């Protein structure tokens, strides 16, 4: 899926037929009006801030230039807690789309990775309804929803040959986009002090927004 933020590159090819699908990491306030004010639908998927940190730390370490020294987890954690991460602080990124999903629920659908993992059936049907193409009773009886869940599962996607040996834009190895995909793996890396610090930040930054996460403590 092509990324909106790479559209200015002349050698990047985008689909010309409709409907078109694009991906992006851009914060909602930074999206162009051609996106925010048109009839296109936005589906935002986030992950709990604890697993997000471990996943990001591992990913950026793998794709960094070999001439650069690796950040320790402690160094990366301090940057993360201070909002120093690509595309801005994670809390403002989440809240931008979260708030818009409340104001314009027909425009923005806000989903959590944890919900997708725990109740894929509900989430897939919710996405279909949001896009205006709900499943028919016959499709549900014939197991279409379950087939989609299986086809799009983390395990299935990770096992595809293109994601084992393929490249994105001739720069990034596709295999780096797939790690474990587990919920709560952060407990194997966080110290008690890290858990306490990030818990306080989550509580402070998301306070009063209505957005919350179930955090599984070790």
DSSP letter string, 138-199: HHHHTTHHHHHHHHT-HHHHHHSTHHHH-EETTTEEGGGG-S---TTGGGGT--HHHHHHHH
Confidence (pLDDT) at 154: 84
Rounded to whole angstroms, the Cα distance separating 20 from 7 reads 14
Name which of 121, 181, 117, 116 is nearest 147 in CA terms: 121
Local confidence band at 181 (pLDDT 50, 70, 90 cut-offs): confident
pLDDT confidence of residue 86 = 82
Please give the average per-residue pLDDT across 67-74, as a whole number: 78
- Average pLDDT, whole number, for the chain? 87
Count of Cβ atoms closer than 10 Å to residue 98 Cβ: 19
Looking at per-residue pLDDT, the higher value among 158 and 49 belongs to: 49
Q: Which CATH homologous superfamily contains domain 4-206?
A: P-loop containing nucleotide triphosphate hydrolases (3.40.50.300)
Q: H or E element: which one contains 110? A: strand 108-112
Which residues pair with residue 155 across a beta bridge?
none
* Averaged pLDDT for residues 103-124: 96
Identify the band that residue 17 occupies on the pLDDT scale cut at 50, 70 and 90: low
How is the chain split into domains, by residue range? 4-206
Residue 89 CA to residue 76 CA, distance in Å, equals: 13
| CA–CA separation, 89 and 108 (whole Å) | 20
DSSP states along 53-96: HHHHHHHHHHHS-TTSPPPPHHHHHHHHHTT-STTS-HHHHHHH
With 90 as the cut, is the pLDDT of residue 174 above it?
no
pLDDT value at residue 3: 72
Whether 31 and 179 have beta carbons less than 8 Å apart is answered as no
Query: Known catalytic residues?
Result: 25
Query: Are the C-beta atoms of 163 and 178 separated by less than 8 Å?
Result: yes
Least confident of 85-94, 138-147, 176-185: 176-185
């Amino acid at each position: 899926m092509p990324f909106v933020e790479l559209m200015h590159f002349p050698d990047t090819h985008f689909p010309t037929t409709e409907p078109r699908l694009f991906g992006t990491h851009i914060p909602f306030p930074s999206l162009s009006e051609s996106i925010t004010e048109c009839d296109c639908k936005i589906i935002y998927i986030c992950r709990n801030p604890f697993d997000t940190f471990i996943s990001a730390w591992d990913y950026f370490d793998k794709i960094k230039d070999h001439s650069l020294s690796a950040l320790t987890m402690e160094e990366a954690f301090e940057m993360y807690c201070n909002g120093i991460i690509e595309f801005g602080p994670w809390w403002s990124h989440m809240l931008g789309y979260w708030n818009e999903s409340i104001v314009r629920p027909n425009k923005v659908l806000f989903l959590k990775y944890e919900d997708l993992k725990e109740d894929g059936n509900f989430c897939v049907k919710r996405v279909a309804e949001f896009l205006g193409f709900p499943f028919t009773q016959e499709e549900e009886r014939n197991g279409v929803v379950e087939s989609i869940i299986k086809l799009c599962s983390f395990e299935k996607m990770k096992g595809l040959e293109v994601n084992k040996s393929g490249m994105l834009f001739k720069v990034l190895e596709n295999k780096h986009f797939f790690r474990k995909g587990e919920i709560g793996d952060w407990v194997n890396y966080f110290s008690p002090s890290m858990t306490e610090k990030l818990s306080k930040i989550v509580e402070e930054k998301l306070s009063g927004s209505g957005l919350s996460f179930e955090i599984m403590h070790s």
